Amino acid sequence: MLAGCRSREDSRTTSRGGVVLLALALLPAVAGSPSRGAAQELPDLDDVLDHLDDLYRSTSSHAVMTMTVVRDRGERSLSLESWSQGTEEALIVIRAPAREAGTATLRTDDGLWNYAPRADRMIRIPSGLMSESWMGSHFTNDDLLRETSYREDYGASLDRVEEEGVPYLRVTLTPHPEAPVVYTRLDFFLTEEWIPVRWDYIDGDEVVRQIFFDRVERVADRELPLRLVIRPTDAPEERTEIFYELPELEVDLDRSMFTRQGLRRVVRD
């Protein structure tokens, strides 16, 4: 185990408050792509970290998504709609299937909330549950509302590696001793244009799960991977897939939708 890092047994909490929904809600907002002309020179590490921190953030966004969860007990799909404003406000609503329609997750600067439509009840999610599964998927609350900052909570290094003849930029992140994270190391693999390809989550020396990115398309002025697939390595037949069907960036939103009253209006629309 890396010195000064916490294993999953040492800590199951995460920190402060900021967005991967809420990156479901926050679309991959890829910053300007670097020049291919400097392919043999490593880019500035701080620029890459800023890029990763902003990867699922946008000034504002709206998206329609499909989330498919495959587990040993079966497969289920959810239709989702999400909105975000800035780095603090985000909302995601399940639209289908009917039995789960209206279930929602809201993030404000006051914290993270789940909404149960049948009981018309808002339930606050404490920090101790941020590492728990979101809606039965392989994503956690912290994945969807990432509360850590790559620049603030990790020591970082950047190098270039090759896998099966393909070159990648690799960002290696090691959490600071006080950082409220659950993995001992993160390895992020990017193309030369800084588009994510794979994220490895490592506990000790073992890769315990991976997120894969593909189906890159141009949205507005950005190249975005529209599909994310997360796989736990101890159950390789399982996965959770998210596909962005209708992504929109820099949209005009009614800020009142990121309130309890506004959430209820959105759910009923």
Which comes out higher in pLDDT, residue 8 or 228? Answer: 228
Q: Looking at this protein, which amino acid is placed at residue 156?
A: A
Provide the token pair at 160.
């270039």
Q: Which residues contact 169 (CB under 8 A, 6 or more apart)?
A: 42, 43, 48, 158, 159, 160, 189, 190, 191, 192, 194
**How many whole angstroms separate alpha carbon 52 and alpha carbon 156?**
12
Domain 36-268 has CATH 1.10.3720.10: no
Q: Does the predicted TM-score (pTM) go above 0.85?
A: no
Q: Is the pLDDT of residue 14 over 60?
A: no
Burial group, residue 133, by CB count within 10 angstroms (0-12, 13-18, 19+): middle
First to last CA, the chain: 49
Residues 203 and 215: beta-carbon distance below 8 Å = no
Over residues 196-215, the mean pLDDT reads: 95
Instruction: Determine the pLDDT at residue 145.
Output: 60
**How many whole angstroms separate alpha carbon 4 and alpha carbon 7?**
10
- Domain locations in the chain as residue ranges: 36-268
**How many whole angstroms separate alpha carbon 262 and alpha carbon 128?**
27
Among the ranges given (105-114, 128-137, 240-249), the one the predictor scored with the smallest mean pLDDT: 128-137
CA angle 150, 155, 156 (to 5 degrees): 75
Place of tokens 């990790």: 154
Compute and round to an integer the Cα radius of gyration of the chain: 18
Instruction: Determine the pLDDT at residue 29.
Output: 43
Residues 225 and 241: beta-carbon distance below 8 Å = no
Residues 212 and 197: beta-carbon distance below 8 Å = yes
Which comes out higher in pLDDT, residue 112 or 121? Answer: 121
Q: Which residues contact 94 (CB under 8 A, 6 or more apart)?
A: 78, 79, 80, 100, 101, 102, 103, 104, 135
Percent of the chain with pLDDT over 90: 53
**How many whole angstroms separate alpha carbon 128 and alpha carbon 111?**
13
**How many whole angstroms separate alpha carbon 124 and alpha carbon 143?**
17
